[in-house]
Structure 1
Amino acid sequence: MAGERVNRQLVLRRRPRGMLTTEDVELVEGPVPECGDGQVLVRQVYLQMDAAVRSWLDEGHGYLPAVEIGEPVRSGGMGRVIESRHPDIPVGAWCAAGLPGWQDHVAVDGDSPIVNHFPADWDALFQLAVISSPAATAYFGLTDVGELSAGDSVLISAAGGSTGAVAVQVARNLGASVVGIAGTDEKCRWVESLGAEACVNRRTEDLAARLRELRPQGFDVYFDSVGGEVLDIALRRLAPGARVVIVGAISMYNASGRPPGPSNYLNLINTQAKMVGFQGLSYVDRYPEAWDLMWRWKAEGKMEYKADVARGFESCVDQLNSLFTGANTGKALVQLIDDPGPGPY
């Protein structure tokens, strides 16, 4: 690794229409960035595939600016510190370098609140699959925004994905009963193994009828990552005073034009429910609260995960699209290189 002098980047070539294609991106090579004072140079091992990655490729205003043409596709990642000019971060440590994007190397400020380093023997896959974005989104989305209480009935869409699976276990561990929604029988079996009372296959079952059968009194909390028709059906199954937590809209990220609004939103009035949009990034100063709990539950055998790992830059487009086709289960990742270990490099 010491001889590497090239930084490969998979950059945005044009704005995608619908799902990302290989024609929308281009693999380019440039110099490895210099490591400045207070910085660390990270050789990325894993890239995170999250639905938000697709939303950042479109023009327009969002909670983060759009990726510019010629820039690396933005995403989370994790790798080894191969050079350090920060007094508290040693070479060989694992480092989650914020949103470094689809590239081999990144130099980052070691004191940034979104840069986190970990010991050389850290469980990197648990960090990526549970701790990274899923932990804060699921935990604070359910507890702070969803006002979850023991005994609540919780409905979770995309329950077989990374955030949904963590949300299922958070709700279960905090004393709620859980029903999941997923897109395959295999995912539903996994969701039920995580503690959900039931999981409905939205592609093969009558979702509205099954939710009515499972919870005739309605759900106290709906944790939604899907939007669209699934959200509209869920809005008909709200208990009085229910809380709807919107953390994503995976059904709409590849849509052309403006999608139709939910037709059942008036049920928010009938049930005196509320619907709130939520971003995990707004809780960055409280991340350790969620992280510590996830690690404790892991030690107690109460937090499981699956990692769907593909290899190489050539897998990035298909692996991202697997989030929208339903081909992945758990956390979708791309591994760029074998873990080089703690060094020396």
Structure 2
Amino acid sequence: MSLSTDAIDLTRRLLRLDTINPPGGEEAAIALLGGLLEAAGFTTRRVDLAPGRPNLIARLSGSDPDAPALGLTGHVDIVPLGEAPWRHDPFAGETDGDRLYGRGSADMKSGVAAMVVAALAVAREKGRRAGLELVLTAGEETGCAGAKRIVETPRTLGRVGALVVGEPTGLSPGLGHRGVIWLRFHFKGRSAHASMPHEGDNAVLKAARAAVRLAHHDFGGACHHALGRPTLNLGRIEGGCNLNSVPDRAVLGIDIRPIPGQTSAAIVAELSALCPEAEIEILSDCPPLWSAGRDDWLAQVMERTRAVTGRAVDPAPVPFATDAGFLAPAYGGVPTVILGPGETEQAHKTDEWCSLTRIGQAAELYRDLAAAWCR
């Protein structure tokens, strides 16, 4: 079978496994991929995010123990289907023309399948000086939880010199992204009868006033040359229990997209000073990422991508966060490219699909990049 056929077949096998997160249930997908890699000579280790939710680290050695490996990473969990009906079975791997349908077809079981098939092909080649390290994660769709668990587990990651992230970019290389920080602001008040509001302390009013201040906050004009400005979105406000009582509690839910140089600790301190009456809870904290475009390896990635796809594309940021926000710093800040067969616009959509042609091209591209690195 061809590399393209193998990658499409493995994508279908992954699509037939329900890994919706929450609750996750990534065990079957990781077992499938781990079995293939172990049979090809990879050593594997699992790091559990939770029972039945393993991450997988798979390593293929080279002849030179001092040569850093090439890192490949992707996640196997998928988002829920949503309320809208699907025309195609989300777990059947149906095709129509050049499109392979299914939840996770673009984001990002096609990328994972292409990476694994490429790694299997490289494992069959002789004369490898350097090796490969695959990091396949659970829980990416809920705050990159699997990658966070991996980097917090001592002596789990090996030595890697560059990293490829198979997230959906339509095989257009991406060099970075803003991070994601989710916060809850908790406001406390004092309840009273609505006919005597002066006897109470209205927590909803506190939250509303804070919401106005937060909506106008610009983080001191911070800006990144490629990623632009950080953003703050007020996504949810809730409080009170009935109309004829002064509410004694309220909560704001906030999404922040930080840029390199901004940490969650600094942002929380900054917003705490802006809203001193609130208690702030961090729900999710995915770091931003940026790779310098002058790196020689990144230039090789751009050149090989053009050769495989027939398209000249300029590297650009991607709009979403990835596991590389945790993994790239853990590897020492290695050059990182986000490059996958799925289309960015298909992620999380009803009747999600990925191009069969792109899946085949991705497998070829990953194989070429990995083989060149290992030689």
Tell me, yes or no, whether TM beats 0.5: no
The two structures have a TM-score, normalised by structure 1, of 0.28
Which has more radius of gyration? Answer: 2
Comparing both chains, which one has the higher relative contact order based on Cα–Cα distances under 8 Å and sequence gaps of 6 or more? 2
